[in-house]
Chains A and B, each alone.
Chain A
C-alpha cells in the first residue's frame, strides 16, 4: 500500500505551518498595510459622523462597530460598488452561475436522469464549484498554427462585451450602472459586437470545426439582429423614450406584453437565436461539429466564454423583463424596516445597541430587486426549457424563419403599436 508522504513527521509539519504564519504576518506588516495606506491617500474618502474619514481612521471600523455600517453605506454609493457588485458584474455572475447549475439539474429531471449528484452531500450542489476548480487548474492548450493574439484576446473581449451589456440593465429604481439616455441603442451597439468576437475567435483557432461553427454563428446572429431590433421598436414608439429606466418606470400600471404580445414573442425567439440556445444552437452543434466555435478553447479560456455566455443570457432575460414584463414594478410585499430599531436601537435585556446607518437598503429598492429577480428567473426558466424538449433546426429553416416570418411579425407589431398610439389609447397623450 502506497503512502502519499512516506517521510511525514508531525513536528516538521507544525514547524512549516508556523514558518508560513510568521512570514505572512511579517510581509503583511512590512508591505501590505503600508501599501493599503498609500492607496487610501489617493481615494476620495467619505464623511462619517461629521468627520472626514482620513486614511489614519480608515481601519477604525474594526474596533468601532458604530462606524462599520456608515462606511459600508458610503462604499455602496460609489461607482466601483455598482460596477463590481450589485447591479453590475457580481450580481449578474451570481445569477449566471445559479443558472448553469439549475439548467443541468432541471434538464436532467426533464429527461428522467439524475444530473449532477455526487459533488456535495445534497443533490450535487457543489458541482459548479468543482467544475470551476477543474477549469482553473486545467492546462490551456493553443493550437500550433493558431493566430495567438486574437485567440487569447477573444474570450476576454467576449466577457467584456457581456459585462457591458449587463451594465445597461436597470435592476431597481436608480440602481443601474450606466443610466444612458439612449440605453436601448447602446444595447443594439453592444449586441453587434458578439458576431465579430465569435467569428474572430473561430477564425483564429485555425481549425475546421471552429470555423464552420463561427460562420454559422455569424449567419445566425446577423440575420436575427434585424427582427430583434424591429421587435423592440413597438415599445419605443409607445413610451417615447430609449432610456431603459424610463421604459421600466412607464409600466407601473401594466406591462407592455399585454398590448404587444407579438413583439414579445418575436423578441423571445430572436433572443434564443442570439444566445445560441436549442433549438437554434447550430454554432455549437455538438453532434455534428464537436463543439462548434468553442472546440479549440480549453481550460479557463473555455470557462471565460461560458461565463460570458451565461452573463449574456441573464442580460437578455433582464432586457425582456425591463421591456415587456414591467421591470421592477410589482405589488409591495417587502415589509418596511421597523422604525423603533432606527430610533431606539436594539434592546436585549439590560443592553441597548444603537446602530447608526440603518436601514442599509430602502424598502423600494428591496421590493424592486425582488420582483426583478423573480421575473428574470422566470424568463431564464423559459429560455432553458426548450433545451430539454426540442431538437435542433436545420440552418436553412432557421434563416427562412428569421428573414421571412419574424421580420414580418415584427412589422405587424410596429403597426399594432402605431395603431394604439394614433387611436389615442396609449402612449404620450393616452393612458400614460
Chain B
C-alpha cells in the first residue's frame, strides 16, 4: 500500500502539469505550473531533502513562476498565438505522452531501482557544503564565476542610462 501523502502529491503534480499544458487561460496555466513545481518540492520533502525542497520553493515557485506570470500578463497573446483547435492532434499528443511515460516507467522499473536501500543516513547540508569546497571545487568556482558574471551584467544593465530620454537624467 503506497503512502497516501505520496499518492496525493503525485495526483497534484501530474494533474497540475497536465492542466498547465491544457488550460486555455494562460494565467491559470501558470498557476497550475506553480502547483506542479510545488508538488515536486513536496516530493523532495518526502525524500528527506528539505534543503532542496525549500530551494525548489524559493527559486522555482517564488521566482521562475513569477517571471512566467509577468511575461504572460505583459504580452498581448493575440499577436503570437493563433488558436488551432484540432481534436485529433490533441488526442494524438496525449497518446504519445502516455506511450513515452509508460516506456520510461518500464525502463526505470527494469533498471533495478527497486533494490536500492533507502535507510542511508540523511545527507546533511553541511556535508554538501564540505563536498563542494573539497572534491567539487572546480565546479563551485565555475558556478561562482558564472553567477558573478550574471550579477555584474545585471548591475551594468541597471546602471545603463537612456540618454535620449532627457526627463530621466538624474
Contact = CB atoms under 8 A, between A and B. Distances in A.
B73 interface: yes
Given A147-B27, A396-B168, A403-B155, A200 B57 contact: no
Contact of B69 (A191, A192, A196): A196
B99 interface: no
A87 interface: no
Interface stretch (B59-67, B84-92, B101-109): B59-67
A200 B31 contact: yes
Contacts of A193: 61-62
A205 to B, nearest CB: 13
Name the interface size band of chain B.
20 to 34
Interface stretch (B47-55, B110-118, B130-138): B47-55
A404 interface: yes
Contacts of A191: 62
Contact of B54 (A150, A189, A196, A222): A189
B159 A182 contact: no
Contacts, number: 72
Contacts of B58: 185, 188-189, 192
Interface in B5-45: 27, 31, 34
B50 A181 contact: yes
A314 interface: no
Contacts of B69: 196, 199-200
Contacts of B73: 199, 203, 211, 215
A222 B27 contact: no
Chain B interface secondary structure, helix, strand, loop or mixed?
A: helix
A201 to B, nearest CB: 12
Nearest to A397: B170
Given A218-B70, A396-B168, A196 B155 contact: no
B66 A185 contact: no
Interface string A115-149: 00000000000000000000000000000000100
Given A199-B70, A203-B73, A222 B63 contact: yes
Contacts of A222: 63, 66
Nearest to A230: B151
Contacts of B70: 199, 215, 218
Given A399-B158, A403-B158, A404-B155, A195 B66 contact: yes
Interface string A202-229: 0100000001000100100010010000
A203 B26 CA distance: 12
Contact of B125 (A182, A192, A225): A182
A424 B35 CA distance: 45
Contacts of A407: 151, 155
A225 B59 CA distance: 11
Contact of B61 (A192, A218, A225, A404): A192
A400 interface: yes
A369 to B, nearest CB: 28
A407 B62 CA distance: 19
A225 B58 CA distance: 11
A189 B158 contact: no
Contacts of B154: 403
Given A192-B61, A397-B170, A400-B158, A186 B66 contact: no
A197 to B, nearest CB: 10
B62 A203 contact: no
A199 B66 contact: yes
Contacts of A185: 51, 54-55, 58
Given A147-B27, A203-B27, A397-B170, A182 B54 contact: yes
A215 B71 CA distance: 11
Contacts of B66: 192, 195-196, 199, 218, 222
A210 to B, nearest CB: 12
B158 A196 contact: no
Nearest to A408: B155
A191 to B, nearest CB: 8
Interface of A: 147, 150, 180-182, 185-186, 188-189, 191-193, 195-196, 199-200, 203, 211, 215, 218, 222, 225, 242, 396-397, 399-400, 403-404, 407
Given A185-B54, A199-B73, A400-B159, 5 more contacts: A188-B54, A192-B57, A195-B62, A203-B27, A396-B170
6 contacts: A182-B50, A188-B54, A189-B54, A192-B62, A196-B65, A404-B159
Closest 4 CB pairs of A and B: A192-B62, A403-B158, A189-B57, A185-B54
